[in-house]
Amino acid sequence: MDTGIGSAGRTGQVAGRRFVDSRTFEVLSRGGFVARGVVYGLIGVLAVKLALGDGGKATNQQGALQTVAHQPAGHVLLLLVAIGLGGYSLWRLLRALLGRGPESGDDSTVERVGGFGSGVVYAILCAIAIRILAGSGSGGGSASKETSGVLGWPGGQWLVGVAGAVLIVVACYQAYRGVSREFLDDSKQERMRPLARRVFTAAGIVGHLSRTVVFGLVGVFLIKAAVDYRPSKAVGIGGALSKLLREPAGTALLAVVAAGLVAFAVYSLADARYHRI
């Protein structure tokens, strides 16, 4: 016998599939790639300027959103970025729920889990952008402050350690996607001109490898914070970039990784056009 809950679930799934196949969903999704490119581009450019001694800074996604807000017509720009981040989150979450998109085949379980996690992260970034627009400040604390709060929870030390391990796994996956060029499978290469394909491929490889370094460092320092029970050891993306600057040949290291983040931004902007939604 059919239940009301089962019927409602199937109705919702059908509605979700119709929305996924709509032009509105495609526009929101592609706008999300643009927003992602803007955020990583700002992080990369500011880090390059820091490495060159030109007044830049090491910052994270929140700092990049703040930078957008401080530009001429910044609130309008930030509103567009927030819409894009929301669209990207919606795309990832619906793909995770339905297991498919209008232009690609079925997703594996690993892809759906990863997509769900990515969707949650970008939903949080969207919320942060909205809070900045509403004048509620930066929308988040430092990595060490947030880690301190989690360490105080029952089992918090394990949670922080697991979060660090997850980020290291994500970093390894970024390296795999970059080295194997797996990211090309998600794009419409057949629609690219030869030069555009070469630039897209190079930007994707360099961009994914740079994210490997950043996510890997964040993961390592989260694990150190958990093992030593010292929240001050936790860092975010901005902290990871600052750590690079303090290493031997740190200026060169930071410049290379920062340029890679700019390359990832270029890849994201191109992917807004060519990605299989």
Quote the pTM value: 0.87
The helix-helix angle for 109-133 and 74-98 (nearest 10°) equals: 160
Each residue's pLDDT expressed in tens, for the chain with a length of 277 residues: 455 556 665 666 677 678 778 888 889 899 999 999 999 999 999 999 999 988 889 888 989 999 999 988 899 999 999 999 999 999 899 888 888 777 777 788 888 888 899 999 999 999 999 999 988 655 555 677 777 777 778 888 899 999 999 999 999 999 999 999 999 999 999 999 999 999 999 999 999 999 999 999 999 999 999 888 888 888 889 989 998 988 888 899 999 999 999 999 999 999 999 998 8
Is residue 27, in this structure, part of any structural domain at all?
yes
Structure tokens at 39: 């955020």
Structure tokens at 45: 């450019």
pLDDT score at 3: 58
CB of 19 closer than 8 Å to CB of 94:
yes
Residue whose C-alpha is closest to residue 150's, from 165, 134, 161: 161
pLDDT score at 1: 47
Is residue 3, in this structure, part of any structural domain at all?
no
Residue whose C-alpha is closest to residue 170's, from 101, 228, 115, 88: 115
Is residue 109, in this structure, part of any structural domain at all?
yes
Is residue 269, in this structure, part of any structural domain at all?
yes
Structure tokens at 53: 């001694």
Where residue 59 falls (left for φ over 0; alpha for ψ -120 to 50; beta otherwise) is beta
The helix-helix angle for 109-133 and 61-69 (nearest 10°) equals: 40
Residue whose C-alpha is closest to residue 181's, from 160, 200, 157: 200
Is residue 2, in this structure, part of any structural domain at all?
no
Where residue 234 falls (left for φ over 0; alpha for ψ -120 to 50; beta otherwise) is beta
- Alpha carbons within 13 angstroms on the beta-carbon side of residue 218 total 24
Is residue 260, in this structure, part of any structural domain at all?
yes
Strand, coil or helix: 187: strand
Residue-number span of the structural domain to which 169 is assigned:
8-274
pLDDT score at 217: 93
pLDDT score at 171: 95
Residue whose C-alpha is closest to residue 223's, from 175, 163, 171: 163
What is the number of structural domains in the chain?
1
Residue 31, φ and ψ in degrees, nearest 5: -60, -30
pLDDT score at 138: 53
pLDDT score at 168: 95
